Structure 1
Amino acid sequence: MHTMWKGSISFGLVNIPVKLHAAIEDKDIKFRSLHKKCHTPIKYEKVCPNCEMEISNDEIVKAYEYTKGKYVVIEEEDFAKLDKEMEDRAVEILDFVKITDIDPIYFNRSYYLSPNDGGVKAYALLRKALQETEKVGIAKIMIRSKEQLAVIRVYDNTLVMETIHYPDEVRKANDVPNVPSVNEVLKKELDTAILLIDQLTSQFEPEKYKDEYRESVLTLIEAKRTGDETVRQETKDKPNNVMDLMAALQASIDRTKPEKLEQKEGKTIKKRKTVTRTKINA
């Protein structure tokens, strides 16, 4: 499993060297955009609309738009300085709380934590302590130039770090429009709804849930592939330099033909006039 980050977890005087691994695998089906006519992949070029020209990555800078049309440019060395100040910080557990105190809306992304060299004993100690107390740790970590708030918990005998949103990143539920504030529900309707919920209540078994749409798309793709319903990108023959040279030479010859013909016809007419005059003089 690929290591994304190396560092340590600390709580009190305990320090645990760890490695970070992505726990989630993106299973989305990726599609390419092709030109319908020739099935060539479409390019998405970076163009400056003001200069009306394509630009390269080294001509692009990052900036914060503090008001409409006005920006503060942040140079790469500015980011490098900030990253350097933060990179040596350990994942410090700030608090221990019950996981039921955290609403699922805060959870973002999951990572597995494995012990690094010399960290096996301390890793096992933290895992056991979390299991016995039924608590999770609240910590901070720097990932890809962003300070993340995180939860450290136990999952299937492995420490897992779940990044969570900061409170100011979660929009207020009160801002959602058209939400009824008063429960005007008949008791008979409520009893029926509760009965239905009870009948559908079971143990959570994640293996029984599948992404049926993704499986249908994959089945469709395979059916088209095996049924020879595939397309190929049209390719143009690359011009041969020798042929290009010959074509250029031939074009030059063709271009000069009318001029030479005119010059030749002019000389012939002039010669005929001279002969005619000679005969007259004779």
Structure 2
Amino acid sequence: MHTIWKGSISFGLVNIPIKLHAATEDKDIKLRNLHKECHSPIKYEKVCPVCDVEIQTTDIVKAYEYTKGKFVILDEEDLAKLKKENEEKAVEIIDFVKIEQIDPIYYDRTYYMSPGDSGGKAYSLLRKALEESEKVGLAKIIIRSKEQLAVLRVYENTLVMETIHYPDEVRHSGDVPNVPADDKVTKKELDTAILLIDQLTTEFEPEKYTDEYRTALLELIESKRTGQEIVTPVDKAQTSNVTDLMAALQASIDKTKPKKPAARKKKTPAKAKKEA
């Protein structure tokens, strides 16, 4: 597994050398843009709209637009110095909390953590301490020139680091338009909805969920590549357009009821006597 970052975890006076590995991978199918006439890949060039010339990488500087059309230029030396000063902090655990206190809206990306050289015992100690205390560590880390808040927890006997958003990066739910302030539902509607939830409740088995669009797209690509006949799949049965809430709930419950095994037909006396 490829190492993307090397450093250490520190909490109190304990220091654990670790390596970071991406825990997830992007399996989106990347499609290229081609020229329709000759099927050549399209090039995207950096061009200055004022000078009307193509710009080289060495001609580009970074800047912050503090107001429309007004910029503050940031030198590479300043950015490099700032990055170095912050990187020296490594992964510093600043607090321990219950994971239930962190809403999933804060989570960003997941990384596996493996022990560095001579860090095995300290790694095991932190893992065991997190398990026994039923806590997670809150830490800060610099990744790709950005300071991020992170959660350290145990997943299948491995330390995992989840980068999380800062509070000011999460938009306020009160700004979401058209959210009803009151629950204008009847008890019958609520009881029926809860019954539907109960019927659809199951154990979480991630293996049974697949990306159906990606699978279909790969099949389409392979069919075109090999010159096979492309077969259009039959559309799934369309959901009936039920506008009445109770009718929709009842229809959903009827649809999700477990099917009863077919009852065996009883033999008539005459038929039973004939078979004997």
Range class of TM-score, shorter chain = 0.7 to 0.9
Which runs of at least 4 in structure 1 moved beyond 6 Å after TM superposition? none
2:66 match: secondary structure: strand
Amino acid at match of 2:144: R
1:31 match: secondary structure: coil
RMSD of aligned Cα (Å): 1.1
Amino acid at match of 1:108: D
Partner of 2:16: 16
Q: Counterparts in 2 of 1:1-80, with a 5 A limit?
A: 1-80=1-80
Partner of 1:277: none
Q: Counterparts in 2 of 1:90-169, with a 5 A limit?
A: 90-169=90-169
Distance (whole Å) between structure 2 residues aligned to residue 74 and residue 194 of structure 1: 56
The one-character-per-residue Cα deviations of 1:126-169 (angstroms, maximum 9, x if unpaired) are 11111111111000000010001000001111000000000000
The one-character-per-residue Cα deviations of 1:10-54 (angstroms, maximum 9, x if unpaired) are 111111110011111110100100011110100111111111111
Partner of 1:250: none
Q: Counterparts in 2 of 1:263-278, with a 5 A limit?
A: none
The one-character-per-residue Cα deviations of 1:44-87 (angstroms, maximum 9, x if unpaired) are 11111111111111111110001111100001111111111122
Partner of 2:194: 194
Distance (whole Å) between structure 2 residues aligned to residue 228 and residue 32 of structure 1: 22
1:223 match: secondary structure: helix
Distance (whole Å) between structure 2 residues aligned to residue 131 and residue 22 of structure 1: 22
Question: What is the CA-CA distance between 1:228 and the residue it aligns to?
Answer: 7.0
Amino acid at match of 1:122: A
CA contact (8 A) 2:87 2:141 kept: no
Distance (whole Å) between structure 1 residues aligned to residue 148 and residue 8 of structure 2: 15
Q: Counterparts in 2 of 1:236-255, with a 5 A limit?
A: none
Question: What is the CA-CA distance between 1:207 and the residue it aligns to?
Answer: 0.9
1:154 match: secondary structure: strand
Distance (whole Å) between structure 2 residues aligned to residue 52 and residue 168 of structure 1: 39
Residues 158-167 or 77-86, more deviating: 77-86
CA contact (8 A) 2:112 2:161 kept: yes
Amino acid at match of 2:65: E
2:37 match: secondary structure: coil
Gaps of 5+ in 1: 230-282
Amino acid at match of 2:193: A
2:192 match: secondary structure: helix
Amino acid at match of 1:86: N
Partner of 1:171: 171
Partner of 2:221: 221
CA contact (8 A) 2:137 2:153 kept: yes
Residues 8-17 or 170-179, more deviating: 8-17
Distance (whole Å) between structure 2 residues aligned to residue 228 and residue 77 of structure 1: 57
Question: What is the CA-CA distance between 1:202 and the residue it aligns to?
Answer: 1.1
More helix by share: 1
Question: What is the CA-CA distance between 1:226 and the residue it aligns to?
Answer: 1.1
Distance (whole Å) between structure 2 residues aligned to residue 16 and residue 198 of structure 1: 45
Distance (whole Å) between structure 2 residues aligned to residue 215 and residue 98 of structure 1: 38
Closer/same/farther in 2, CA of residues 228 and 52 from structure 1, 3 Å limit:
farther
Question: What is the CA-CA distance between 1:89 and the residue it aligns to?
Answer: 1.5
Distance (whole Å) between structure 2 residues aligned to residue 203 and residue 15 of structure 1: 39
User: TM-score, normalized by length of structure 2?
Assistant: 0.81
Amino acid at match of 1:219: E
Q: Does 1:203 align with 2:203?
A: yes
Residues 184-193 or 219-228, more deviating: 219-228
Question: What is the CA-CA distance between 1:90 and the residue it aligns to?
Answer: 2.4
Amino acid at match of 1:189: E
Gaps of 5+ in 2: 230-276
Partner of 1:246: none
Distance (whole Å) between structure 2 residues aligned to residue 9 and residue 24 of structure 1: 21
